[in-house]
Structure 1
């Protein structure tokens, strides 16, 4: 059994310590979810395991042939490389052979009559046979198809950020590593791809260490949980659900023990200050105990500080937004088409749908940041909007944290009517006094988002517009936010793809399907996704079956053939037809997705339509040929 042992891992930035003397073991087959508040060093620890020089200290004990494959949040791919070259970027002999074969296959399909290209292709086929590389190639293509990657000869520079991310994920998964390290692997994946990835990682023979904000994914995949807290790593057995139970039990035990220690510490402090004259052996023992207690309490500075959102809410009337026959186009895409909808006090509306379908544009229109082409959005007189945008707005990197928040307001009232200063609010949001004096540029990306969220809430809105709030927020902050929203007396409109967040917060959904089509659903988001997936699969199966029947009917209408069996060449052709048809099915499905994505411009849509027409024609011919040969197979 291969294991990876980490000891004495430490990282300090100036006066700030992220973690120190961290020690843990990763066993073969472990699937470990790494949790922690933003800024505690999750990504820093992952980087340090791969590149030891990134940490101040770390000792790693592992077998010489131990291989680690790392998916970073920002992929490091060669823009000039093709997708297939990027995916098979490994140094293994089979990887290089498959890369050569795939490139040769592309040339052969384009120039099948070229003798030189033919010879090269057939030689590589023989080498693939000799190396028994076909199974690996098949497995890799299955991974690529599941992640929606079909255009293997396309340049990396021609892909969107989300597509590049999926290529990097595929590259990581096929590496046959002993340990996969994945930083937010579900980013830019749709529901079906996430569902497949859960299953893939659950059966992975090696080990997996991953960071994610997707709590359903975490619960399905993780067998252990590591949490960075108070500059150390605490280990929990089991998935996210079991972690929550253990965490709650531990907090109850710790609160009881810590209360006793605090009382004992006060007694010892009183004794020390009394200045006992005779300090013999017993007195020295008490002094030592006093020092130990003091150190133990100081090592846990944040344990009794629970992050919380306790801000008094302003009154909201019944009228919030009355949308009447609203129409809006943005960059030639129809966002709203004569759309009418009434948003009332207390509504919890989840907004989801395809990328580029206009969800953020819709929020901008509601917030009056973007005018409608026609129609109107009437806003209630008592409405005060707090808009949490995807981009952190009006945050000067050269301003100190405390000064930034004081510029929003000198303080607020909590639900009990008590005045809370900006410093006290920062404290409740896990910004200690050292961090309050830091420049905003010194914060991590997640810490900036947490500070931005606090700034929005301090303005005491009674209507919240949240655009992808789960991006770059840690699970603890999300949990506190969700709890706050459930008790929030105002109205919430939240754009998100996070299943857990929407299931927990939204009581109805607006699904933006593109071209102004908006569907309302009272299902949970998970329930809606399951129904949509089943419907889509049924439709695809129906189309495929219809094509098959059409081909079969054409074959039956032909005069009966005297042919009784396949020739040797026809048998080889027949064996290859079904995999080719399956590949075309996947390609057609992906092209249909692209055509339904309004994020694509007109030229791209025309190109995708052309590719789809060609793929359908090619599949019809292959189906007709397969149906004919199947009579004699």
Structure 2
């Protein structure tokens, strides 16, 4: 954990590639394997999904990759003799290597992550889909240590829920950076916090971290208060100009200098980031959506959809990936036209749209100049004007960072700067598209607190359960193909109901199948047996001599087992034979008894 820009990703990179760090000492076994999910996937854009996933150097990976390619050729041209031969040979190799389970596991992981078109090229996938392919590639590697940088980005709730369970049961170790607090709470057993170039370790999950962090802050504040009081006393003593400069007095001077240095160099943990920006007045009318329809290719986004958004609404927008959530925000922001219908925007609406991708941010522009180009500042809630520099300062951009080029910022710092630029315009309606992606937990907490006191309207697309539970008062759930459901439950409450509904449906289907199977069994049940057939009579006549023969063989084996002359290995072999013949004898006896009842 840590504020954007503290070096979380840099640290992960350094653990994987030790040469990235100035100094490092790492102890690990020679065969220790690490698998790393980066924030920006490094995939061959011309590879297919299945090739990219099985891009490992292991023999099984190579074999499965060959088999999948051969299977595609076989499905396309099954009459070609060479293709047939190659395919059947690879099937035999898959059997010999026992690689079927790995292939099945991988396809299951891909399916859970919403990747079903395995032949598709990487370059044909969206950024979010590429991230999920890279995650699958990382998970199947059978590594001793998984390192995951923001693994929940671009995952819907079901995929996040599955990933939580998967990682909780993972046999190796997992080191991850995340902004998802529910995920952190469920998966983490230790937390390392990066702050002021130091690392602090906390035992337990996010809930325990919060308890320990609050206690530490109280202790630190108390210590600093005590040191400040001592410093003032020593300062008074120094100014008094003591004439005698003996050993005791020199000791007090040394303590004074130590206190002074300690207070000057103390970490700036007391200074909290805050959002205190005024907003424009908003009337009751915000968005009036009437009979809206929109379709892309075969995907229906809106289907004769009508909805009224009013002042003070807090609407969480969630649903399956690809169902049109971001497109919906773009239509509201008038960036994508409707096929039919209309969206009326209230006259007093001053829109702030925080998109998934940072817009109009010149990497060669300095941070302070970028914000000044947005505006010369804003007013806070008490009407005081704030300069761009003051606003940057409240968002944890110190004077050195304010003069830095945008290209020198981390991905998370760019997102924090972009958020500040949106809020600086003093909007009264906020559209937030996946705001929790790449924002640190401290910034998210401040944003959530700001939204609680925000007098305007908020519409937020997110899969982050913690964020939606805190912010949203109602939900729009995009089911796909224009099917949009409204819910007044919290996001957690809605998900719980959906889980219960699916469990009930599963139970109903299972019960129905059981009933159908019983009915089929009853229909196919043969007429009641009254006597043996000719073949069964012949079988019965042969069974008794076979059983007697086995009894004789078993008796001889028991004699061998009791013979002290036989060695350990011989005894083990005799016991194995006895077990096999005993099992065979029991099977024949069961059959003899069954047939005997019809004699």
Q: Please say whether Structure 1 and Structure 2 have the same fold, judged by a TM-score greater than 0.5.
A: yes
Q: Is the 8 A contact 1:352 1:496 kept in 2?
A: yes
TM-score, normalised with respect to structure 1: 0.74
Confirm whether residue 398 of structure 1 aligns to residue 398 of structure 2: no
Matches within 5 A, 1:159-178: 159-178=125-144
Give a deviation string over 1:151-188, Cα, whole Å, max 9, x none: 54554444443333223222211222111101111223
Which position in structure 1 is the counterpart of 2:316? 350
Confirm whether residue 495 of structure 1 aligns to residue 461 of structure 2: yes
Give a deviation string over 1:564-621, Cα, whole Å, max 9, x none: 99xxxxxxxxxxxxxxxxxxxxxxxxxxxxxxxxxxxxxxxxxxxxxxxxxxxxxxxx
Q: Is the 8 A contact 2:115 2:133 kept in 1?
A: yes
The Cα shift of 1:461 comes to 2.0
Distance 1:554 1:242 in 2: 56
The Cα shift of 1:281 comes to 3.1
SS of alignment partner, residue 261 of structure 1? helix
> Residues 413 and 153 of structure 1: is their aligned pair in 2 closer, same or farther, counting only changes over 3 Å?
closer
Which position in structure 2 is the counterpart of 1:48? 14
Measured on the aligned residues, the alpha-carbon RMSD in Å equals 3.6
Distance 1:121 1:329 in 2: 41
Q: Is the 8 A contact 2:155 2:463 kept in 1?
A: no
Q: Is the 8 A contact 1:230 1:300 kept in 2?
A: no
Distance 2:268 2:310 in 1: 40
TM-score, normalised with respect to structure 2: 0.78
Distance 2:93 2:483 in 1: 52
Matches within 5 A, 1:325-340: 325-329=291-295, 334-340=300-306
> Residues 160 and 534 of structure 1: is their aligned pair in 2 closer, same or farther, counting only changes over 3 Å?
farther
Aligned length: 530
Matches within 5 A, 1:288-367: 288-329=254-295, 334-367=300-333
SS of alignment partner, residue 252 of structure 2? helix
The Cα shift of 1:140 comes to 3.8
Confirm whether residue 475 of structure 1 aligns to residue 453 of structure 2: no
Distance 1:334 1:123 in 2: 44
Which position in structure 2 is the counterpart of 1:451? 417
> Residues 248 and 149 of structure 1: is their aligned pair in 2 closer, same or farther, counting only changes over 3 Å?
same
Which of 213, 225, 229 lines up with 1:263 in the alignment?
229
Distance 1:330 1:118 in 2: 40
SS of alignment partner, residue 199 of structure 2? strand
Which position in structure 2 is the counterpart of 1:438? 404
The Cα shift of 1:111 comes to 6.1
Q: Is the 8 A contact 2:395 2:420 kept in 1?
A: yes
The Cα shift of 1:207 comes to 0.9
The Cα shift of 1:129 comes to 5.1
> Residues 545 and 387 of structure 1: is their aligned pair in 2 closer, same or farther, counting only changes over 3 Å?
same
Consecutive unaligned residues in structure 1, runs of 5 or more: 1-34, 566-633
Which of 369, 380, 393 lines up with 2:346 in the alignment?
380
Matches within 5 A, 1:402-417: 402-417=368-383
Greater share of strand residues, 1 or 2?
1
Distance 2:100 2:482 in 1: 45
Matches within 5 A, 1:99-248: 99-104=65-70, 106=72, 127-128=93-94, 131-248=97-214
Q: Is the 8 A contact 2:156 2:319 kept in 1?
A: no
Q: Is the 8 A contact 2:43 2:122 kept in 1?
A: yes
> Residues 319 and 96 of structure 1: is their aligned pair in 2 closer, same or farther, counting only changes over 3 Å?
closer
Which position in structure 2 is the counterpart of 1:39? 5
Which position in structure 1 is the counterpart of 2:25? 59
Return the index of the structure with the highest Cα Rg. 2
Q: Is the 8 A contact 2:153 2:437 kept in 1?
A: no
> Residues 433 and 273 of structure 1: is their aligned pair in 2 closer, same or farther, counting only changes over 3 Å?
farther
SS of alignment partner, residue 225 of structure 1? strand
Distance 1:125 1:518 in 2: 45
The Cα shift of 1:103 comes to 4.6
Which position in structure 1 is the counterpart of 2:52? 86
Distance 2:40 2:52 in 1: 15
Give a deviation string over 1:248-276, Cα, whole Å, max 9, x none: 11111111111222232344445556665
Distance 1:168 1:258 in 2: 46
The Cα shift of 1:42 comes to 0.8
